[in-house]
Structure 1
């Protein structure tokens, strides 16, 4: 673990707590972080440390590594704000919020009241056949070939198909959407990130304006009827919510799928367990969510506060490091063991008032993907001669995954 020069640290940060972590290097590595880097962090780091490269652009923030300490923060929106947390608008010198992700109470409550019915479990369950058809269509293109590029041919396309259907956006624009997504989420270059944000914003504003002039039976059109504080949503709120769905719908499930299927390909006995007992898949997905959570998000200290005995100043970032909390040995028994009967809670889809809006859809997508691969393909493995690499950063993922059967 690299340490940071004391001369660059704020005065309240003890030098012994400052570190640059390999988990946030934003590069490809050959070792599986869930098997090496993350357990090492739990073994060697204090409960809280000041990580100089934890935010994109190698910006600093506090890493809280335990489940309980993180949950305490998630339950306290008064002291830990999300307002502007992702720096999406700030990066292009604007001030809109990603809705509801960057909103705080009390207005956050009104946003969720308007949004929750559209993402309720029964609503998402009604999409089951549509989601399954999307998975089956993609698998059919390669199942008789004996191999596939899992990321390119399945995990990138599958969730975006579903989100584009939901929003009423054209499937033929998928390749461009994926380019923008990678430029926003998988780069350490703030200029590249900002240019992608502008392009996504311009595109979504065009679609929103088109719905105002030509209403359709789709989700974007329905947003115009949402209310907050007794009024219709304004332009920034409509756009901010569309931007949220674009961000959340395009990447998280893709990253989870890559990690899950890499694990199943590397450990055929675990794959066989699900093939022989498909009834385990629902609980297995919850364990996969714990073990392969990809996202390190953040809260911002709203005032001077103490966490784990350390002073944190207003405006400083504190991590919601789901890849790390899922391996907390003080909360989970043998966290490195992937157990399909664990039934343990996790915060991989958020916690507190900011529980992921799309969590029921994400679970459905993951369950159906595993089910359909088990039904449609024989035992698969890492393709002969292919070396798996892992991207470490704010979104842990497998950039490429060649499978064969």
Structure 2
């Protein structure tokens, strides 16, 4: 897929051979308006395993699972210190704890792990269930809905804002900011979203540091490192990153699930018939997650070295897309096909290693509750006639609009 590059884009560094240059822009992938993961896969099967693109500041892209899994775990060579592309301005605060490498990373991460471990998440289940049922019952008699706004952004956001004890009515202000953060086309847009989120959080962070409560926000803004509480600026950065994650990612996965089931009647009915089969439902959820990976986080090469014949230089930026692990045919045969009988389907939708998503357990629980409560009430649904899902790629891929209809 090597193509001529426009002269206005990043210049090819001397250590990058011309044969490894591919015109790849993960904000504008050909075919992504039809299927985002299929659009990514075209580069996986048609180009080099690792290539360099002049887009978005110039960076490497790894396309195969074995390399991506190495890059997710090996912080000695592939640092997390800058995770966005194009690079954020130098004045931008680092995104804590994601842009901190081990071992320091573990100190910041601990309160999130404690708050989101399976036993703690189990206590949230009734609340998740109640929010889901209320939303579905409200939509059911209408016979149609715009799923993203009317459900996908309702369930996880209600649950998350309760966890951090922030006003539910603030969601309409926060959601556009989160959208700009994860899918903003340029560094300026994403930086402005960070500033806006930081400004919003000032009041709440001050309050929780002066009068701690028992909520998740209190825990993360009062983290102690070596016996000393993190600074106010670090607390703002940490809280902002947690809010960005909590407000967007599960909503995106819910939408991918709904889109797939609306267009695959046989598989939707398989799940409907086995909603009480925990083992089957767990396998179906993992298979749908595998097929619909979303997140991207960039890396920075820490020093000069050669990897599988590719010469990396200190400061090179690299994108190892999580979703390409799940759809790599070297790992999962016929990877674009969803098969609930698949054995050992491997994916990296929640990352791997020290930076694996601490909210994975909560996300899986919300997805399970969605399937059980939605399909028990609306077992037959489809894409509304005359409409088409609106999708977007970026640091987090997602569906912006999904109109569904049912009898």
Q: Does the alignment reach a TM-score above 0.5? A: yes
Where do residues 226-375 of structure 1 align in structure 2 (5 Å cutoff)? 226-278=223-275, 279=277, 280-342=280-342, 343-375=344-376
Aligned: 1:93 with 2:119? no
Contact 1:22 1:392 in 2 (8 A): no
Query: What CA distance in whole angstroms lies between the structure 2 residues aligned with 1:87 and 1:46?
Result: 21
For residue 114 of structure 1, report the CA deviation from its aligned partner. Answer: 4.1
What's the counterpart of residue 404 of structure 1? Answer: 405
Structure 2 CA distance for partners of 1:226 and 1:158, relative to 1, 3 Å: same
Instruction: Tell me the alpha carbon deviations over residues 348-387 of structure 1, each in whole angstroms, 9 at most, x when there is no partner.
Output: 1010111111111111111111221111213110111112
Query: What CA distance in whole angstroms lies between the structure 2 residues aligned with 1:196 and 1:22?
Result: 22
Structure 2 CA distance for partners of 1:92 and 1:340, relative to 1, 3 Å: same
Q: Which of 104, 118, 121 is the aligned partner of 1:121?
A: 118
Structure 2 CA distance for partners of 1:123 and 1:176, relative to 1, 3 Å: same
For residue 19 of structure 1, report the CA deviation from its aligned partner. Answer: 1.7
Contact 2:325 2:346 in 1 (8 A): no
Where do 5+ consecutive residues of structure 2 fail to align? none
User: Secondary structure at the residue paired with 1:318?
Assistant: strand
Aligned: 1:390 with 2:388? no
User: Secondary structure at the residue paired with 2:218?
Assistant: helix
Q: Which of 11, 14, 17 is the aligned partner of 2:17?
A: 14
What's the counterpart of residue 37 of structure 2? Answer: 34
Query: What CA distance in whole angstroms lies between the structure 1 residues aligned with 2:101 and 2:45?
Result: 34
Contact 1:62 1:318 in 2 (8 A): yes
Query: What CA distance in whole angstroms lies between the structure 2 residues aligned with 1:190 and 1:27?
Result: 22
Q: Say which is worse superposed, 5-14 or 125-134, in terms of deviation.
A: 5-14
Structure 2 CA distance for partners of 1:29 and 1:353, relative to 1, 3 Å: closer
Query: What CA distance in whole angstroms lies between the structure 2 residues aligned with 1:89 and 1:173?
Result: 29
User: Secondary structure at the residue paired with 1:398?
Assistant: strand
Instruction: Tell me the alpha carbon deviations over residues 269-305 of structure 1, each in whole angstroms, 9 at most, x when there is no partner.
Output: 1101100112222211111211101112122111112
Query: What CA distance in whole angstroms lies between the structure 1 residues aligned with 2:310 and 2:6?
Result: 19
What's the counterpart of residue 145 of structure 1? Answer: 142
Q: Which of 93, 103, 121 is the aligned partner of 2:100?
A: 103
Aligned Cα root-mean-square deviation (Å): 2.2
Instruction: Tell me the alpha carbon deviations over residues 62-119 of structure 1, each in whole angstroms, 9 at most, x when there is no partner.
Output: 111111111112221111111132389953724x332221111221122233432222
Query: What CA distance in whole angstroms lies between the structure 2 residues aligned with 1:69 and 1:89?
Result: 22
Query: What CA distance in whole angstroms lies between the structure 2 residues aligned with 1:320 and 1:271?
Result: 31
Contact 1:390 1:398 in 2 (8 A): yes
What's the counterpart of residue 182 of structure 1? Answer: 179
Contact 1:28 1:392 in 2 (8 A): no
What's the counterpart of residue 65 of structure 2? Answer: 67
For residue 181 of structure 1, report the CA deviation from its aligned partner. Answer: 1.1
Query: What CA distance in whole angstroms lies between the structure 1 residues aligned with 2:30 and 2:177?
Result: 19
Structure 2 CA distance for partners of 1:374 and 1:259, relative to 1, 3 Å: same
Runs of 4+ in 1 over 6 A off after TM superposition: none
Query: What CA distance in whole angstroms lies between the structure 1 residues aligned with 2:176 and 2:311?
Result: 40
Q: Structure 2 length as normaliser, TM-score? A: 0.91
Q: Say which is worse superposed, 180-189 or 23-32, in terms of deviation.
A: 23-32
Structure 2 CA distance for partners of 1:327 and 1:87, relative to 1, 3 Å: closer
For residue 5 of structure 1, report the CA deviation from its aligned partner. Answer: 4.8
